């Protein structure tokens, strides 16, 4: 399966509640883009560095805010070394860390944080099981 198919067929699929993620992407932990939805925000090298540090020290990321494409999200939850979840207005973001990649899901009003968490983290867990 191509990386783009993971975006199109899994992350952007219609969710059980009828909604859909606004944006999704898979990036290497070095910040290299593997695949993305149209108009996924361009994530800077500094943003990827901060996200990677946030997996080890969520307090530092929470203090400065999670930034994706220049947009600031408030860090609301996560599991150390596994997932980071952020909120901005009625939407938010979930980032799942695998062995070599970061799986991003961004949602807006009409999708719940828990729906985003499930789809992003399930794909991330699958990739981890594959050694990716």
Radius of gyration (C-alpha) of the chain in whole angstroms: 13
Strand spans (E) along 19-80: 23-28, 33-36, 66-68, 71-79
Q: By C-alpha distance, which of 117, 21, 129 is closest to 9?
A: 21
> Using one digit for the tens of pLDDT, what is the confidence trace for 79-111?
889 999 999 999 999 999 999 999 999 999 999
pLDDT confidence of residue 68: 97
Q: What is the DSSP string of 64-101?
A: H-EEETTEEEEEEEEETTTEEEEEETTEEEEEEE-SSE
Chain centre distance of CA 68: 10
3-state secondary structure of 105: strand
> Using one digit for the tens of pLDDT, what is the confidence trace for 25-38?
999 999 999 999 99
- Stretch 51-56: mean pLDDT, rounded? 94
What phi, psi does 96 have (nearest 5°)?
A: -110, 130
- Stretch 5-25: mean pLDDT, rounded? 95
% of the chain exceeding 70 in pLDDT? 100
pLDDT confidence of residue 57: 87
């Amino acid at each position: 399966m191509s990386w783009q198919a993971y975006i199109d067929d899994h992350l952007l699929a219609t969710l059980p509640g009828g909604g859909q993620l606004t944006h999704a992407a898979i990036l290497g932990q070095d910040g290299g883009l593997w695949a993305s939805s149209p108009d996924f925000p361009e994530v800077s090298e500094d943003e990827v560095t901060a996200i990677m540090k946030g997996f080890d020290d969520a307090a530092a990321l929470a203090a400065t805010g999670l930034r994706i494409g220049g947009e600031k999200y408030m860090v609301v939850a996560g599991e150390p070394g596994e997932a980071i979840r952020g909120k901005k207005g009625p939407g938010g973001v979930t980032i799942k860390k695998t062995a070599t990649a970061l799986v991003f899901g961004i949602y807006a009003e009409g999708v719940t944080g828990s729906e985003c968490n499930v789809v992003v983290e399930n794909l991330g867990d699958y990739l981890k099981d594959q050694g990716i």
